[in-house]
């Protein structure tokens, strides 16, 4: 958890107080994101840290180009998605596999 804490400046309570809930593999994306930006090196590092955090929490996940992480925080689900070169955050997701 120490390395993921370094991203707290960007995502505050989400990381410090959130709990990994579910991982959605390829092909998944965030629906109606309230944050949607072009990915960069910091966000790619964040993706790698999320993968470690989820795997260390017992939720198997792998890196791919269309994935979504669900995190529970304060009785709410936040979805963090990486879709091709976009990073997005929202409250819902689409998962082709469900």
Confidence of residue 77 (pLDDT cuts 50, 70, 90): very high
**pLDDT tens-digit readout, 35-74:** 898 888 888 888 988 999 999 999 999 999 999 999 998 8
DSSP the chain: -HHHHTTHHHHTHHHHH-EEEEEE-SSEEEES-SEEEE--HHHHHHHHHHHHHHHHTT------SEEEEEEEETTEEEEEEEETTEEEEESEEEETT-
Query: What residue segments make up the domains of the chain, in order of their start?
Result: 2-95
């Amino acid at each position: 958890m120490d390395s993921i804490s370094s991203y707290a400046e960007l995502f505050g309570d989400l990381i410090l107080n959130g709990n990994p809930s579910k991982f959605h593999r390829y092909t998944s994306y965030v629906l109606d994101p309230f944050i949607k930006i072009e990915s960069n090196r910091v966000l790619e590092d964040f993706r790698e840290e999320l993968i470690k955090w989820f795997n260390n929490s017992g939720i198997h996940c792998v890196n791919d180009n269309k994935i979504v992480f669900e995190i529970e925080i304060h009785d709410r689900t936040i979805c963090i998605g990486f879709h091709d070169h976009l990073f997005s955050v929202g409250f819902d997701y689409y998962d082709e596999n469900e």
